[in-house]
């Protein structure tokens, strides 16, 4: 069918029923045996009718011109992440789907093109997606962000738990209420100012997570708080039921202060274990273990009983403009060079991305500006170029997914001019811990 048969348009609140029906009949069909998925339908309806950060026009719809009906769509969930305290606008793409009878018409490709144009215009530098292996590479995405990979702790390896809910150090874990929203937002703000990559929520978003979703919503999670008396010291976010394989999933865990972790991990693990056993009774399904959707370096994991290792997964990430990303990172680069006591001895540093180049301007050794310029034909031999870095490697460096030495080991075409440049770029791009529970 020719592309003239379809129109790409933004979503509308009035699409809720149709889009819920469309996605319920095409997403996660393996889990329902081909029947409509009620969790998907409830999620789509929730996103289109009363989500604190999603507007109907965040959906893009391919409409069949003849019938006016939506036959394909996706949604970009806009959110502000924090990289070492720097606000980074991100869009997570979800609910990509085309009705079976309309597949093969490049509708997904057209929807992504329209979405990417919109983000370029709106200044959203990063898009992320989790999904069909390889498919999104064709649309400009690359694995550039760690996701998941912490070991599963089998139920048998979890400590026996008594019914008492207060630990010897006075910390308790209890279900969150909407009254905890401000305290949870304050914890997110504090954690956002650490060195990690995080997705902080404000109080409105926390209220939505705690009490705003329908019980069928596939994205509904349970929030629990770590409390010391009336003082909220941290939180835990886990699944509302056991998975098909009997696992309790953990999506996020945070402490107000890093120093609280050694006391917090025990009560958090005990709470999750108790819940897993309760769910086993109510669901009449065996509780097989805890499955954290966290990276292995997360503090809760480092303080947990050892489990069965799993291969890490990743987020596909895309940026339309790596130089813009580098320019946004200026405050982070400045503070990293400052912390390493490094001052660049020349007025500029030119990083060529094999096409375009980033010009970093310095005054008295301090970074002052990052601007895009034309690259040279042969950056690796050009005397005014300090480093040549492929754009895909720069994306990985910018997000702290790979350090500069790792990039040097894996990208033979990443070429710093001299040891001093290498030293500066190594200090500029350390590994960044990922503590992302995306907004959806
Ligand atoms: C994946 C999906 C959205 C593709 O829709 P579409 O509109 O037909 O996609 P396009 O026409 O733009 O396809 C472009 C290419 O992707 C390929 N493709 C389609 N589905 C694919 C899949 N599941 N895995 C790998 N490649 C796929 C097509 O074969 C086509 O390849 P070609 O260029 O070599 O011919 C659709 O198959 C679908 O709705 N699947 C079920 C829901 C789903 O899995 N969504 C993704 C969740 S992450």
Residue 1 predicted with pLDDT over 50? no
Distance 95 CA to ligand 1 centre (A): 13
Q: Is 95 in the pocket of ligand 1 (CB under 6 A)?
A: no
Strand pairing category for 86-98 and 126-129: parallel
Tokens for 325? Answer: 């990303």
Q: Are residues 344 and 200 in the same domain?
A: no
Helix (H, G, I), strand (E, B) or coil at 54: coil
434 within a domain of the structure (yes/no): no
Q: Are residues 305 and 397 in the same domain?
A: no
Count of domains forming the chain: 3
Q: Where a domain ends, among 281, 311, 341?
A: 311
Over residues 59-110, the pLDDT tens digits come to 999 999 999 999 999 999 999 999 999 999 999 999 999 999 999 999 999 9
Q: Are residues 255 and 342 in the same domain?
A: no
Tokens for 359? Answer: 């010009």
Q: How confident is the model at residue 361 (pLDDT cuts 50, 70, 90)?
A: very high
Distance 328 CA to ligand 1 centre (A): 33
CATH number for the domain harbouring residue 414: 3.30.1050
Q: Out of 98, 131, 139, 316, give the residue to mutate to test ligand 1, the one with the largest number of ligand atoms within 8 Å of its CB.
A: 98
283 within a domain of the structure (yes/no): yes
Task: Name the E strands within 148-203.
Answer: 153-154, 171-175, 197-198
> How far is 390 from 348, CA to CA, in rounded Å?
20
439 within a domain of the structure (yes/no): no
Q: Are residues 138 and 161 in the same domain?
A: no
Q: Out of 135, 137, 218, give the residue to mutate to test ligand 1, the one with the largest number of ligand atoms within 8 Å of its CB.
A: 135
Residue 2 predicted with pLDDT over 60? no
Q: Out of 108, 141, 313, 440, give the residue to mutate to test ligand 1, the one with the largest number of ligand atoms within 8 Å of its CB.
A: 108
% pLDDT > 70, the chain: 98
The radius of gyration of the chain's CA atoms, rounded to the nearest angstrom, is: 24
Q: Are residues 210 and 349 in the same domain?
A: no
Q: Where a domain ends, among 109, 144, 179?
A: 144
Q: Are residues 211 and 300 in the same domain?
A: yes
Q: How confident is the model at residue 165 (pLDDT cuts 50, 70, 90)?
A: low
Residue with tokens 């008396």: 229
Over residues 105-161, the pLDDT tens digits come to 999 999 999 999 999 999 999 999 998 999 999 999 999 999 999 999 999 999 877
Query: Which residues lie across from 360 on neighbouring strands?
Result: 349, 370
Residue with tokens 């001019």: 417
Atom of ligand 1 at shortest distance to CA of 62? 7
Strand pairing category for 289-292 and 153-154: antiparallel
pLDDT at 166: 67
CB 157 within 8 A of CB 307: yes
Q: Are residues 85 and 15 in the same domain?
A: yes
Mention every residue, 6+ apart, whose C-beta is less than 8 A from residue 325: 125, 126, 319, 394, 395, 398
Q: Are residues 193 and 340 in the same domain?
A: no
Q: Are residues 51 and 118 in the same domain?
A: yes
**Residue range of the domain that includes 176:** 153-311
Residue with tokens 């914890």: 187
Q: Is 107 in the pocket of ligand 1 (CB under 6 A)?
A: yes
Q: Are residues 40 and 168 in the same domain?
A: no
Q: What is the pTM of this model?
A: 0.95
Q: Are residues 284 and 378 in the same domain?
A: no
Q: Are residues 357 and 269 in the same domain?
A: no
CATH number for the domain harbouring residue 60: 3.40.630.30
301 within a domain of the structure (yes/no): yes
Distance 266 CA to ligand 1 centre (A): 44
% pLDDT > 90, the chain: 95
Q: Is 108 in the pocket of ligand 1 (CB under 6 A)?
A: yes
């Amino acid at each position: 069918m020719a592309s003239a048969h379809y129109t790409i348009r933004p979503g509308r609140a009035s699409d809720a029923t149709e889009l819920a029906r469309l996605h319920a009949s095409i997403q996660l069909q393996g889990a329902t045996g081909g029947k409509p998925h009620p969790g998907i339908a409830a999620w789509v309806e929730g996103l289109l009718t009363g989500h604190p950060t999603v507007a109907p026009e965040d959906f893009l719809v391919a409409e069949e011109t003849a019938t006016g009906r939506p036959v394909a769509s996706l949604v970009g969930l806009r959110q502000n992440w924090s990289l070492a305290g720097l606000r980074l606008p991100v869009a997570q793409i979800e609910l990509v789907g085309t009705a079976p009878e309309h597949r093969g018409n490049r509708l997904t490709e057209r929807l992504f093109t329209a979405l990417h144009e919109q983000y370029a215009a709106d200044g959203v530098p990063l898009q992320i997606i989790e999904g069909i292996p390889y498919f999104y590479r064709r649309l400009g995405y690359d694995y550039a962000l760690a996701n998941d990979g912490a070991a599963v702790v089998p139920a048998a390896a979890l400590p026996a738990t008594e019914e008492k809910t207060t630990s010897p150090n006075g910390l308790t874990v209890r279900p969150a209420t909407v009254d905890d929203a401000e305290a949870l937002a304050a914890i997110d703000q504090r954690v956002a100012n650490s060195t990690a990559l995080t997705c902080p929520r404000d109080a409105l978003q926390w209220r939505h997570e705690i009490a705003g979703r329908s019980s069928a919503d596939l994205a509904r999670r349970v929030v629990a708080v770590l409390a010391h008396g009336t003082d909220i010291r941290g939180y835990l976010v886990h699944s509302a039921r056991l998975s098909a394989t009997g696992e309790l999933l953990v999506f996020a865990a945070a402490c107000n202060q890093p120093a609280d972790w050694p006391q917090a991990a025990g009560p958090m693990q005990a709470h999750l274990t108790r819940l897993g056993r309760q769910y086993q009774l109510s669901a009449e399904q065996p509780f097989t273990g805890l499955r954290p959707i966290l990276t292995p370096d997360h503090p809760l994991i480092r303080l947990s009983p050892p489990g069965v290792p799993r291969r890490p997964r990743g987020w596909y990430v895309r940026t339309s403009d790596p130089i813009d990303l580098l320019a946004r990172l200026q405050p982070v680069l400045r503070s990293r060079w400052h912390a390493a006591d490094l001052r660049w001895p020349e007025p500029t540093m030119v990083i060529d991305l094999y096409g375009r180049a980033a010009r970093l301007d310095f005054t008295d050794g301090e970074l002052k500006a990052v601007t895009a310029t034309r690259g040279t034909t042969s950056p690796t031999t050009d005397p005014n170029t300090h480093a040549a870095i492929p754009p895909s490697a720069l994306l990985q460096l910018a997000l702290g997914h790979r350090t500069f030495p790792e990039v040097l080991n894996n990208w033979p075409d990443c070429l710093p001019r001299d040891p001093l440049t290498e030293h500066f770029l190594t200090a500029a791009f350390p590994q960044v811990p990922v503590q992302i529970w995306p907004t959806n």
